[in-house]
């Protein structure tokens, strides 16, 4: 149970996708007001890497661990398909093996994945941080600046709408895509071995 959760036993935290509290109110909004989010803030202070995937990204944004907001998709429909992304300013434990502009193919599956951030925050904060962008022609939800994911400036915290865990075996990828999302988890393992 999350109320019994202790940070002492973990080297990293992953908040998976799903529908926390049925996504009532807004996706991730209720979960971000539970005792669990306080534990995430403690984890940040303890320099424990945190990855939020899909609903986990929504929770990180709602809990103000990452900037911005996640809005309903521009087409008002649930989107489930493979997309191509690329990474800018890769740094931190989740992206330590990723090269600048490296392309990562992953599936998306969401109805509220349209990332939004005001221009001032984008220019003053996000442009200094790791950003995962949808490749041209692959933005499935109308996210501003084609943003698929954002990180804290040091890369300790990363939030993504695409699912890297569903892109870990070649047999999972459809024609024209590579299942290379596992590089995030390989990066974490590499970083932890190096003493992150």
Active-site residue set: 54, 163, 165
Q: What one-character-per-residue DSSP string does 151-182 give? A: E-TTSSEEEESS-GGGSSSGGGSPTT----TT
Phi/psi of residue 80, nearest 5 degrees: -140, 105
Q: Which residues contact 67 (CB under 8 A, 6 or more apart)?
A: 61, 117, 121, 125, 126, 150
Phi/psi of residue 144, nearest 5 degrees: -65, 140
**Residue 132 forms beta bridges with which residues?**
87, 149
């Amino acid at each position: 149970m999350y109320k019994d959760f202790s940070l002492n036993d973990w080297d990293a935290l992953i908040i998976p996708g799903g529908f926390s509290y049925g996504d009532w109110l807004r996706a991730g909004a209720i979960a971000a007001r539970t005792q669990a989010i306080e534990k995430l803030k403690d984890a940040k202070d303890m320099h424990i890497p945190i990855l939020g995937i899909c609903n986990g990204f929504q929770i990180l944004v709602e809990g103000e661990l990452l900037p911005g907001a996640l809005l309903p998709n521009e087409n008002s429909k649930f989107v489930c398909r493979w997309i191509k992304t690329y990474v800018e300013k890769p740094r931190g434990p989740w992206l330590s093996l990723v090269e600048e502009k490296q392309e990562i193919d992953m599936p998306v599956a969401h109805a509220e994945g349209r990332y939004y951030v005001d221009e001032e925050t984008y220019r003053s904060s996000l442009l200094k941080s790791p950003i995962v962008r949808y490749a041209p022609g692959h933005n499935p939800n109308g996210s501003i600046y084609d943003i698929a994911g954002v990180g804290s400036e040091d890369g300790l915290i990363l939030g993504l709408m695409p699912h890297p865990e569903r892109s870990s075996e070649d047999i999972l990828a459809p024609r024209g895509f590579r299942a290379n999302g596992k590089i995030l988890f390989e990066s974490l393992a590499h970083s932890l071995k190096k003493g992150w």
